[in-house]
Amino acid sequence: MNTLFVPDLLWDGREARRGWGVVVAGDRIAAVGPLGALDAPGGRRVDLADAAVLAAPVNAHSHAFQRAIRGRTQTRPAGRPDADFWSWRREMYRAVLAYDPETLHAISRDCFAEMRSAGWGSVGEFHYVHRDRDGRPYDDPLTLSDAVIEAARAAGLRITLLYVAYATADVDGSPLGDDQRRFRSDSVDDVLRAVSDLRDRWAGDPRVSVGLAPHSVRAVPASWWRPLADGAAALDVPLHAHVAEQVREVDACVAVHGRRPVEFLADQGVLSERFTAVHATHLTDGEVRLLAEAGARVCACPSTERDLGDGVLPGDRLSGAGVPVCLGSDSHTLIDPWEELRLPEYHLRLVERRRIVLGEADGPVVRWAPGALRSATEVGGDALRTGAGRLTPGAPADLVALDLAHPALAGADDEVFAEVVAVAARAGVARPVTPLPDPQTGDRSEATSA
């Protein structure tokens, strides 16, 4: 049955519209436009009071279990000022060794539920914990992937499980450490089989899809990249990798391969419109050009990059070259799409000491909000190849409503979408619009409070 949703305001991906609605049929958007041009024959009309609706943001990069260590990693030993990504990673490895399928499911479910309540409609889960605590494969080698997928389903979040290939400890091919034993992939064929099997296993659920994620130039042998990229193309799935998050990784890549990470991946045939470079913090102009020429995109995770002291995304150079940027909450120090989408601009303001660094021309002014919203929504859908993040017929019906009665948005009126980009705190501002039954209650009411 069709449902026509009628909000006060609708963000159509370009501008705020009054008197517009969205028709949803099952899991998909059927139509978007002025109310006079829409009808829902035999369907329902749901008026969303005090609501400004947009396509739900897409969280394109997540490691759900890392949410569990966000508090406990906020200390460092006294007298040791060198706490950084690498010391944080030791804590993360320690945490990983404790999980069994049930606890991983529970931790992931909490994370996904927080994401959904904050406004995200879907997630790309970059999943690399594959083996049991002793480093042995489970009888069903996809046990932990399934546990994470089931967690997203329980939380009512659309998921793309990005199955990770992980085989070495560093760029020089050194073997995995004992604390990395749960991540290990034995071969390219094993990885491609896992992706293919996961895809077949979940083919009946339109809210579950899969992708392939060679972890990084540190964790994937040089000889694996080309067959993995070819495999992703043959399976027609998204291809993601961590790229140039840390200077040490860039230096190691130059030392071993004589090439910086993006240059190396270009040599291996990895860059394409299928490819998303996660972080891409430390890029030369030449590397930016390589990404642009290939039609690849970048996934920034600015709250995590801030937490780990990674560096500042070169968002101005990427947008200048036409490289789209999507967003992820990655380690989940913060789970808030509205904060995530504003940080790339605010970080650059501090570095460059000017304002509206990432805007785009609109007549006599340069606007920041439309591009920021596009990063949070449609570019993420492109990265996961789900079509999410767009209000277009056939796209997944992931909608979110901003609460115009919330004190943080009072008086915003038609500027609400610019305000939510620039200023609004997350808590209570957004609620999912749920045309599907609520997974917890079975309630079919359309605009549940988060």
The residues of the shown chain that bind Zn ion, judged by CB under 5 A, are: 330
- Return d(Cα 11, Cα 157) in angstroms, integer: 21
Looking at the Cβ atoms of 123 and 420, the one nearer to Zn ion is 123
Element (H, E) at 200: helix 188-201
Task: Work out the number of other CB atoms within 10 angstroms of the CB of residue 278.
Answer: 27
Task: Work out the number of other CB atoms within 10 angstroms of the CB of residue 95.
Answer: 15
Which residue out of 215, 242, 279, 332 is catalytically annotated?
279
Looking at the Cβ atoms of 263 and 330, the one nearer to Zn ion is 330
- Return d(Cα 434, Cα 157) in angstroms, integer: 11
The residue with tokens 């789900």 is: 386
Give the nearest distance from C-beta 307 to Zn ion in angstroms.
Answer: 12
Looking at the Cβ atoms of 8 and 330, the one nearer to Zn ion is 330
Give the nearest distance from C-beta 277 to Zn ion in angstroms.
Answer: 12
How far is residue 113 CA from its own chain's centroid? 15
Looking at the Cβ atoms of 114 and 330, the one nearer to Zn ion is 330
Following CA atoms 262, 265, 270, 273 in sequence, which dihedral angle do they give, to the nearest 10 degrees?
Answer: 10
Q: Is 251 tagged catalytic?
A: no
Give the nearest distance from C-beta 399 to Zn ion in angstroms.
Answer: 27
Residues 6+ apart with CB under 8 A from 431: 119, 400, 401, 403, 447, 448, 449, 450
Residue among 320, 325, 262 at smallest CA distance from 294: 262
Looking at the Cβ atoms of 85 and 99, the one nearer to Zn ion is 85
Task: Work out the number of other CB atoms within 10 angstroms of the CB of residue 73.
Answer: 20
Give the nearest distance from C-beta 9 to Zn ion in angstroms.
Answer: 34
DSSP 86: H
Looking at the Cβ atoms of 287 and 330, the one nearer to Zn ion is 330
Give the nearest distance from C-beta 381 to Zn ion in angstroms.
Answer: 19
Q: Is 347 tagged catalytic?
A: no
DSSP 273: T
Question: Residue 356 in contact with residue 368, Cβ under 8 Å?
Answer: yes
Question: Residue 56 in contact with residue 399, Cβ under 8 Å?
Answer: yes
Beta bridge partners of 247: none
Give the nearest distance from C-beta 240 to Zn ion in angstroms.
Answer: 9
Element (H, E) at 148: helix 143-155
- Return d(Cα 283, Cα 252) in angstroms, integer: 15
Q: What is the CB-side half-sphere exposure of residue 261 using CA atoms within 13 A?
A: 28
* Nearest residue to the partner Zn ion, using Cβ: 330
Beta bridge partners of 6: 47
Looking at the Cβ atoms of 330 and 419, the one nearer to Zn ion is 330
Residues 6+ apart with CB under 8 A from 441: none
Residue among 13, 10, 68 at smallest CA distance from 335: 68
Give the nearest distance from C-beta 199 to Zn ion in angstroms.
Answer: 22
Q: What is the CB-side half-sphere exposure of residue 219 using CA atoms within 13 A?
A: 19
Give the nearest distance from C-beta 127 to Zn ion in angstroms.
Answer: 11
Looking at the Cβ atoms of 111 and 391, the one nearer to Zn ion is 111
Which residue out of 170, 310, 330, 398 is catalytically annotated?
330
Catalytic residues: 279, 330
